[in-house]
Amino acid sequence: MSPVAIKRPFPNDANDDNDAHHPPKRAHAMTFAAKLNAKTLRQLQEAFKANPEVDFTKALPKNYSSRLASRLADQDTPCLSSDEEESDESTPMPLPTSPASIVHPLSEVAQGLLGLRADDIRSTPSAELTKALANLIQKSDLIWQSSSTKSRYVARCNHQLVLKSIGSSSDFTEYTTLQYLQRQRPQIQVPQPHGLVISGKSAYLLMSYIPGVTLADAWPLLQESEKESISKKLDTIFSDLRQLQRPAEFPLGGVAGDGCKDTRRNTRISKTPLHTSAELWDFQYSDAPVGSKTYLEFLRRLTSPFIARECVFTHGDLRPANIMVQPDADGSYQVTGIIDWEMSEYPRVFHRQGFQRDGFRILHGISRSCDTR
């Protein structure tokens, strides 16, 4: 099982998660074709400033026409706000350079993108795999990048797959969770796993692309009836998810057995498996830098009614930025998927953080399904 991730109730690193908390300033969503043109236009403007007599045909990015054509094929899919778009230009995605290895098998789609043949994949030298992975990243579009750790980013490879780079070559919580949900709850709309590769200190997760925009971006534009409809749909999704109760023999955490993790300050991982909410509480406060024993005992009594409930599976970082929606033919918004499962876990602790403003309305149904168990 992968670690239980205990996060601060009001995280200071809000812009570092997601697939990410969104900044206060917002702009209308752009298609990927529009995003490519906006970036190209800025590059041409910079070239003109440097040399007013520049030949624009030579200043265009390589493969511009083919890249634009592939994006036009999916031109109705909104992309990102302009605030997020800036990181695509200012900070390139770090590329893998160390010998690479496959941890979880690559799907046929992933093999095709990497230019690998199924018959030869086991004998592919690690250096060639690294080169293929780097080439794929270079041809992909940046969707999100952490403001503090540039090696953490998400890139769209094509209309089918995205690649997620995480700054750890040993924490596979998100990938194993997607595999788990694929087996246990295939009806829940989440990214489908397509393979995992490690290189150096990073892991690269390949998964299916979830179309649409985040609920964080769409929510202010929705009508009251649409907000209520989405809330009910989320109620159905998470009521279904919470039917996944932890088997008695499973330790707390995710689904890969790696112990419990506390990331509120520096990352700590439990040295022994934890099986009860009381043991999790002890671990959580075992290294508290402040607070007397009396105060900690008060907190235990205050929280014990909540931590003693049944242990069911939880997303761990549920917020509007991790919920994707898209308008259908009649203009009403549908939930297209739930993303960013790296904090998923047993049990259901810190599930409701990250909802602000009128976000309580989103959680209305979800809260009912949580609290009746």
Q: What is the pLDDT of residue 21?
A: 38
Average pLDDT over residues 191-204: 96
If you average pLDDT over every residue of the chain, what do you get? 77
What pTM was estimated for this model as a whole?
0.69
pLDDT of 304 reads 62
| Residue 30 pLDDT level (bands cut at 50, 70, 90) | low
Angle between the N-to-C axes of helices 64-72 and 32-50, in degrees from 0 to 180, rounded to the nearest 10: 150
pLDDT at 73 over 70: no
Please give the single-letter amino acid code of residue 228: E
State what percent of residues in the chain have pLDDT above 70: 73
Res 356 pLDDT > 80: no
Beta bridge partners of 318: none
Average pLDDT over residues 245-255: 75
Q: Are 39 and 87 in contact (CB under 8 A)?
A: no
The predicted structure's pLDDT at residue 190: 97
pLDDT for 81 equals: 39
Biggest CA pair distance of the chain: 75
Domains of the chain: 32-73 (no CATH), 100-208 (3.30.200.20), 213-371 (no CATH)
Q: pLDDT: is 42 or 73 the higher one?
A: 42
- The amino acid present at 71, given as its one-letter code, is R
pLDDT greater at residue 10 or residue 94: 94
Cα 324 from Cα 333, distance rounded (Å) = 10
- pLDDT confidence of 316, banded at 50, 70, 90? confident
* Mean pLDDT (whole number) for 69-86: 49
| pLDDT reading at 90 higher than 70 | no
- Residue-level pLDDT at 71: 65
Per residue in 104-153, pLDDT (tens digit) is: 999 999 999 999 987 778 778 899 999 999 999 999 999 999 888 889 99
Looking at residue 309, what is its pLDDT?
57
pLDDT at 107: 96
Query: Residue 347 pLDDT > 80, yes or no?
Result: no
- pLDDT reported for residue 234: 94
Overall average pLDDT of the 188-204 stretch: 96
Distance CA 266, CA 287 (A): 11
Residue type, 14: A
Encode the chain in three state secondary structure. Answer: CCCCEECCCCCCCHHHCCCCCCCCCCCCCCEHHHHHHHHHHHHHHHHHHHCCCCCHHHHCCCCHHHHHHHHHCCCCCECCCHHHHHHHHHCCCCCCCCCEEEEECCCHHHHHHHCCCCCCHHHCCHHHHHHHHHHHHHCCEEEEECCCCCCCEEEECCCCEEEEEECCCCCCHHHHHHHHHHHHCCCCCCCCEEEEEEECCEEEEEEECCCCEEHHHHHHHCCHHHHHHHHHHHHHHHHHHCCCECCCCCCCECCCCCCCEECCCCCEECCCCCCCHHHHHHHHCCCCCCCCHHHHHHHHHHHHHHHCCCCECECCCCCHHHEEEEECCCCCEEEEEECCCCCCEECCCCCCCCCCHHHHHHHHHHHHHHHCC
pLDDT at 142: 93
- Going by C-beta distance under 8 Å and a sequence separation of 6 or more, which residues neighbour residue 175? 104, 193, 196, 203, 205, 207
195-199, 247-251, 344-348, range with the lowest pLDDT: 344-348
